[in-house]
Structure 1
Amino acid sequence: MKAGIHPDYRAVVFQDVTSDFSFLTRSTAPAKETITWEDGNEYPLIKLDVSSESHPFYTGKQNLNTSAGQVDKFKKRYAR
């Protein structure tokens, strides 16, 4: 590997702004903000719109649309 071309792989806090869920992991993603974590250390902060705590697939709050109902609705609307 060439020296000096790889990004800095460091500890970063990801925060889901919709559910106030945060987790500490390692990443190379750039961050402009910092946050003081539970251990008292300051880490770069990356804000997320969706995480496993707020995504419908993981929370079990999916809105399942049945295509049969949509087809019937279309046929009813455009029936002559």
Structure 2
Amino acid sequence: MKQGIHPEYHATKIVCTSCNTEIEVGSTAEGLRVDTCSNCHPFYTGKQRFANAAGRIDKFNKKYGMK
């Protein structure tokens, strides 16, 4: 590796703005903030809602004459 061209790699905290969970990781950036994390994301928690999708499917089937 060449000397002096690589960014500093250090421990930093990622903070979720939705649930305030802090995760410590290694990164070249400092103080990262994310909107959702695996602790509060509906896909990982199993609390997904499919109510809107069902209405869209019915609308599609009605529009294109599928049974």
Q: Same fold per TM (> 0.5)?
A: yes
Bigger shift: 8-17 or 20-29?
20-29
Partner residue, 2:15: 15
Bigger fraction of residues in helix: 2
| Deviation beyond 4 Å, 4+ runs, structure 1 | none
- Structure 1 unaligned regions, length at least 5: 32-44
Q: Number of matched residues? A: 62
Deviation at 1:78, TM superposition (A): 8.2
CA distance in 1, matches of 2:20, 2:41: 13
Which structure carries more relative contact order (alpha carbon 8 Å, separation 6+)? 1
Cα distance change, pair 19–5 in 1 and its aligned pair in 2 (3 A): same
RMSD: 2.3
CA distance in 1, matches of 2:23, 2:5: 28
When normalised by structure 2's length, the TM-score is 0.71
Query: In structure 2, what is the equivalent of residue 52 of structure 1?
Result: 38
- The one-letter code of the counterpart of 1:11 is A
Using the TM superposition, give the Cα deviation of residue 23 of structure 1 relative to its aligned residue in structure 2, in angstroms. 1.3
The structure where strand makes up a greater share of residues is: 1
Structure 2 stretches lacking a partner, 5+ long: none
